[in-house]
Homo-oligomer: A and B are copies of this chain.
């Protein structure tokens, strides 16, 4: 599925593909197929039935599924019905013990796994690019600006180090929330998995293992991990937005300390052909405007009714998808900006002379200390990357 114009203006094809119909149906079928496999292992259904379910998943026809899901009120109902219809001899072996929400929540978790890896790839790249700027310009004197007025001496590397720390911290939070959120949902009708009897717990744990997700008590109406993930994405977007705010301010022609890299066909104006707009910043700032409200929607939906709620959990998946889309659009755009950032050292140094301090060496030394500390923290963050994904 090709992304729409509106979606592409804010995000990347790769991230949009993580949440399109193909990905959603694939994730839902993965749940059904692996559930059947585990059920067969535990003697709940026959091995032949599990093979049949896998075959039905393989040949699944998704045409018209959107309308069917909308009519039913949930994707699982037509999806399960089609699987059953495809293997009449083993129809009873499909979706055993599971609820519609088990499919929906687990499919979302599987999409989140892919999406987080993609996002982290570019967050890593962006952070490393900023670390390079911080290191390279640790001693480049620059004019600090506070409350949008000239203030005192910093270094340009210190400014980059500040961006870096914000992004590393946001990414660290995202990793924590990801570990809480990438979990299997398998609770059946009311969360206890009672239809599977005594093997319920074992089936749950084995399915989590197979899917690379965390096993946890059914979380049908306990949505803190979704809200936490959304908030972490919102904070990532906010940290990127801060970088974009600064780059766009520093790129004003009256300041002209940095510029987004020149890319043919990007950042033009249909009314003023020779203009050069900060298009990467535009994408990131736009995301930073849209994200906070999306996060609030996840929080507002938390008080879900009793064992499984009405409307609350159904509101989450599109919002999580939108937050990943905005986050990756922003991160991807600003990675390009950071990697190719044009830094006018001459202009920066010239402006630095306007700082009032007479202790310029001390001020520069203090800025370099900030950079050193930030880079040490970044090194620690890089070292933690290896442990980012459980399983």
Contact = CB atoms under 8 A, between A and B. Distances in A.
A309 B148 CA distance: 7
B217 A144 contact: no
A152 interface: yes
Contact of A8 (B3, B66, B191, B242): B66
Given A153-B194, A281-B310, A366-B194, A227 B222 contact: no
B152 A304 contact: no
Contacts of A251: 148-149
A77 B228 CA distance: 37
A335 interface: no
Contacts of A272: 146, 151-152, 189, 356
A49 to B, nearest CB: 18
A184 interface: no
The 9 closest A-B pairs by CB, nearest first: A285-B311, A238-B302, A293-B293, A144-B190, A231-B231, A73-B279, A194-B366, A241-B303, A292-B299
A189 to B, nearest CB: 4
25 contacts: A6-B318, A73-B267, A77-B265, A100-B269, A146-B308, A149-B275, A149-B277, A151-B275, A152-B194, A173-B224, A189-B269, A192-B369, A194-B363, A200-B366, A217-B374, A227-B234, A238-B302, A238-B303, A241-B302, A242-B303, A254-B254, A281-B311, A282-B310, A282-B311, A286-B315
Contacts of A284: 311
A365 B191 CA distance: 13
A70 B166 CA distance: 27
B234 A144 contact: no
A5 interface: yes
- Which has the most chain B C-beta neighbours within 10 Å: A234, A289, A308, A315? A289
A74 to B, nearest CB: 7
Contacts of A295: 231, 292-293, 295-296, 299
Q: This chain: how many copies in the complex?
A: 4
Contact of A75 (B9, B188, B196): B9
Contacts of A149: 251-253, 275-278
Interface string A169-202: 1100100100010000000111111111110110
A374 B224 CA distance: 15
Contacts of A366: 192-194, 196-197, 200
A13 interface: yes
A90 interface: no
